[in-house]
Amino acid sequence: MSAIPTIFLHEEDFVWQVFFVPAEFTVKQAADFLMSLIVNATVWPKNKEVRIVKYYSGEILDPNAKFGEVVKPGEPLLLVWWPPKEEWWRKKDDETFRLVRETEELMRTKAPRSPMNIYREEFERLSIIRRLERVGKI
């Protein structure tokens, strides 16, 4: 059984998580699996479904597709309650991205011993904001 290294964020969360998902899982199984890592089962609304959205493209993954066939290793994913009120992940210049950009800037300038400064090259390479700026999306 092979596993796909996955970076994911739930829409109600603030921290990117990393975990390995079996490639043989369907996207629906993978979504439930990842949600079980971050959401207490007693507070998980049973009437809501969770879908996976590719972070950079905004593509909503087919729940019946094989996870290993539609997701590349290390590709950032969003876990979204379905159906959403709006497709907020398609807006790359909204308040959320402004806050992330400001937070990254404050960490760079005001916290010299923070991991952001100690591992500056890695943060620059892996920063979502920097990547979106490099490709001209924001």
Distance set, CA 122 to CA 51, 72, 125, 127 (Å) = 29, 20, 5, 8
Query: Where does a domain end: 50, 65, 87?
Result: 87
Strand 76-82 and strand 3-10: the pairing is parallel
Number of domain units in the chain: 2
Are residue 47 and residue 100 in the same domain, yes or no?
A: no
CATH number at residue 79: 3.10.20.270
* Residue with tokens 């975990």, as numbered in its chain: 19
Determine whether 3 is exposed, middle or buried from the number of CB atoms within 10 Å of its CB (0-12, 13-18, 19+). Answer: middle
Query: Where does a domain end: 87, 105, 126?
Result: 87
Are residue 52 and residue 114 in the same domain, yes or no?
A: no
Q: What is the pLDDT of residues 75-122, one digit of tens each?
A: 888 888 877 766 666 665 666 667 767 777 776 777 667 666 666 777
What global pTM score does this model have?
Answer: 0.59
Q: Which pLDDT does position 28 carry in this prediction?
A: 92
Q: Which domain holds residue 110?
A: 95-134
HSE, CB side, 13 Å, CA atoms: give it for residue 1: 8
Are residue 42 and residue 78 in the same domain, yes or no?
A: yes
* Residue with tokens 């049973």, as numbered in its chain: 46
